Amino acid sequence: MSIKKNPKNSRKTKIGSTLLILAGVLLAVYLFMPRRKLPRVPYSVFIQQVQNGQVLEVQINRGQIVYLLKEENQQEPFLTTTRINDPKLLTRLEDNKVRFQAAPPKNPWFAILLNWVIPPIILVVAFQFFMNRGPQGSLSISKSKAKVYVEGESEKITFTDIAGVEEAKTELTEIVDFLKTPKRFTEIGARIPKGLLLVGPPGTGKTLLAKAVAGEARVPFFSISGSEFVELFVGTGAARVRDLFEQAKKKAPCIIFIDEIDAIGKSRTSGNFYSGGNDEREQTLNQLLTEMDGFGAGDLTVIVLAATNRPEALDAALLRPGRFDRQVLVDRPDLVGREAILNIYAKKVRLGEDVDLHKIAVRTPGFGGADLANLVNEAALLAARNKRETVAQVDFSEAIERVVAGLEKRSRVLSDREKKIVAYHEVGHALVAALMPGSGKVEKISIVPRGMAALGYTLQLPTEEKFLRDEAEIRGQIATFLGGRAAEEIVFGNITTGASGDLQKATDFAEQMVTTYGMSKVLGPLAYERRGQGGFLSNEGVNPRRLVSEKTAEAIDNEVKEIVDKAHQQALEVLNYNRDLLEKISQQILEKEVIEGEKLYELLEEVRSPWEKNF
Ligand code: ZN
């Protein structure tokens, strides 16, 4: 694949900049041209000098008077102003026999040139210069910044390079057919769809899919990001859209890929007003709609693929028939999908014999294609750093932790007391997790600080792929989040700031139980939260609640508090009941910094339930 550059543009830019510099120099010379500086004299002094008979000659210009004194060696003229309108000036000069004259006119052509011709030329040249900056220039105004990928044999992306999104691939195969043999469809009278929306969370390979469609159909691929349409200059987005479609039509059949289309296609009624941007976006959006409605009537096949992770935020006008009327879901891959993706990326590195990609796939739920690519690369880097010939399973294990928890930072030093607190805190999480349902298996406890946030961490990995969780499991998870804080309370009698993230998560979960999942005994199976205002398929971002009465809001708050309190109580009970074990594991972890695998499983086997057969 190669990116086509336009050589004509860069030459234009050169000429433009030369002219601009030239014009700038001319202007500077004009403005700062050295003029004789005459000593200024107050008007009253001048009149006095006239009346004293000291003045030899006067030259009256508009607004100022230049005069010479009679003194013999005084050849230097003086300057005074006549802002004071003095009707008696001429009489005074005549009375005192002063020679006077009006100023000789300047060369009129020169004045006209300076005042009326050069400034517009400078403006025009400057404007031309900015207009002609190529697509690479940050100041380009109307040219679309679309990158054109023309199919090159060497690095063509096809569907075989993509895994884990089988349904999306099936649907896109149809698009490939449209691009390859448009006649087959148009001759029978079918209308080829113009727009298709790829919907899914970030990092799931939407761009890659679009490129693969172009690769399969062997057509050019224009790619631009929605945010690029509306950046920098107001009023340029629409022009960019027009330009992009013009370029594309010349290359038809082809694909236009618009990433982050929500940047321009945000719903006009969603009330997301920030000053200025709204009008601009609307114009850009309207232009896009006009272009999409305009083409396709003839035999030009231009298919617009657009990607978004917030389909619910898009303007309804975009989704109407004839525009983006098809949607393809590109979701995070499941277990099988992840293994397939790993297979693709693992081909690019030298794998050791012990590598089990299935196991890696099991340990990486929630990873998207981009994350998995990153994971394989991290593993390869680690292997190389450890001077291994091939990438081993150990490298993958460490890479997973790195990607999940950020890079290990051994350089960060904790005080002994801090280390102790972190140790008990993390073991607290682990003990509660070992006992509570729904928490997944505790794989590792570490008090080596990682990345930005966590001072220590307890790594839990789900033993199986899970899509549904029941109430007991969520409650167990909330108790696990609170286990760290509970341990601090029991051992040190006070709480540190380290537990704030845990509390946040625990409270979020409790609130979701009540407001989203209908697991509340008081409120019943009602959804008090509006879905779809937050990010796509994610629990991030606090959703605004449905309008509820004050009474209901209070009831929600009470129940959330009750859930968290109860989980906290459970965590305290578990840790008090297993106080000796808490001590034992904490001491070990303080010594070794990390406990994992079999050794950890053995230790956690010893956890006893304070409620005996309740679990
Ligand atoms: Zn914690």
**Backbone conformation region of residue 232, classed left if phi is above 0, alpha if psi is from -120 to 50, else beta:** left
Q: Which residues contact 119 (CB under 8 A, 6 or more apart)?
A: 27
Q: What is the distance in A from the centroid of ligand 1 to the CA of 392?
A: 31
**Cα 477 to ligand 1 centre (Å):** 12
List pLDDT tens digits, range 31-76.
666 556 677 788 888 888 888 888 888 887 777 788 888 775 656 7
Homologous superfamily (CATH) of 147-329 is: P-loop containing nucleotide triphosphate hydrolases (3.40.50.300)
**Pairing relation of β-strands 55-60 and 99-102?**
parallel
State the distance from the centre of ligand 1 to the C-alpha of 530, rounded, in angstroms: 29
Q: Which residues contact 481 (CB under 8 A, 6 or more apart)?
A: 429, 502, 503, 505, 506, 509, 567
Which DSSP symbol is given to 59? E
Element (H, E) at 326: strand 326-329
Cα–Cα distance, 570 to 473 (Å, whole number): 13
Residue with tokens 């013999």: 72
Per cent of the chain over pLDDT 90 is 13
Ligand 1: centre distance to CA 589 (Å): 15
Candidate ranges 102-116, 159-173, 505-519, 579-593; pick with highest mean pLDDT: 579-593
- 237 and 141 in contact (C-beta within 8 Å)? no
Domain ranges, ordered by start, for the chain:
7-33+108-131, 43-102, 147-329, 335-405, 416-604
Distance between Cα 457 and ligand 1 center (Å): 7
Q: Report which DSSP code applies to 498.
A: G
284 vs 264: CA distance, rounded Å: 7
Residue at 447: amino acid letter: I
Pick the CATH number of 335-405 from 3.40.50.11740, 3.60.15.10, 1.10.8.60, 3.40.718.10: 1.10.8.60
- Name the H helices within 467-614: 471-492, 500-515, 550-577, 579-592, 597-605
CATH architecture of 416-604: Up-down Bundle (1.20)
Between the alpha carbon of residue 477 and those of residues 17, 200, 296, 459, 518, the distances in Å are 64, 27, 54, 13, 17
Tell me which residue has tokens 């290990």. Answer: 408
Select from 215, 227, 209 the least CA-distant residue to 157.
Answer: 215
Q: Which of the residues 228, 280, 401, 426 is marked catalytic?
A: 426
- Which residue bears the tokens 């860069």? 10
DSSP three-state, residue 114? helix
Cα Rg, the chain, nearest whole Å: 38
pLDDT, tens digit, 9 for 90 and up, residues 86-112: 777 888 888 888 888 776 665 667 777
Q: Tell me the torsion sign for CA atoms 111, 114, 117, 120.
A: negative
Q: Which two tokens stand for residue 514?
A: 């009540």
Distance from C-alpha of 280 to C-alpha of 238, rounded to nearest angstrom: 8
Output the pLDDT for position 3: 42
**Ligand 1: distance of its center to the CA of 606 in Å?**
21
Ligand 1 mean position to 520 CA, how many Å?
A: 26
- Percentage above 70 pLDDT, the chain: 75
- Residue 404 C-alpha to ligand 1 middle, in angstroms? 15
Report the pLDDT value the prediction gives residue 325, as an integer from 0 to 100.
83
Q: How far is the CA of 433 from the centre of ligand 1 (A)?
A: 12
The reply to whether the predicted model has a pTM over 0.85 is no
- Model confidence at 581, pLDDT cuts 50, 70, 90, reads very high
489 in active site: no
Q: Residue 521: is its pLDDT beyond 50?
A: yes
Cα–Cα dist 151/552, whole Å: 59
Distance from Cα 466 to the centre of ligand 1, integer Å: 23
What 8-state DSSP symbol labels residue 496? -
Chain centroid to CA 214: 25
Segment 462-499, tens digit of pLDDT = 555 556 678 888 899 899 999 999 999 999 988 877 77
Q: Do domains 43-102 and 335-405 have the same CATH topology?
A: no
What does the block give as tokens for 317?
């006008």
Q: Report the separation in Å between the CA atom of 373 and the middle of ligand 1, taken as the mean of its atom positions.
A: 29
Q: Which of 151, 173, 158 is nearest to 344 (CA)?
A: 158
Q: Could you give the 3-state DSSP secondary structure of residue 514?
A: helix
User: Could you tell me the distance, in angstroms and rounded to a whole number, from the CA of residue 316 to the centre of ligand 1?
Assistant: 43
Q: Is the pLDDT of residue 322 over 50?
A: yes
Q: How far apart are CA 330 and CA 199, in angstroms?
A: 6
How far does the centroid of ligand 1 lie from the alpha carbon of residue 311, in Å? 35
For residue 30, the tally of other CB atoms under 10 A from its CB is: 13
Q: How far apart are CA 55 and CA 93, in angstroms?
A: 9
pLDDT the model gives residue 110: 73
pLDDT of residue 253: 83
- Contact by Cβ (8 Å): 378, 387: no
Ligand 1 centroid–CA 499 distance in Å is: 5
> What average pLDDT does the segment 155-176 reach?
84
Please check whether the domain covering 43-102 is classified as CATH 3.30.720.210: yes
The CA 36 to ligand 1 mean position distance, Å, reads: 78
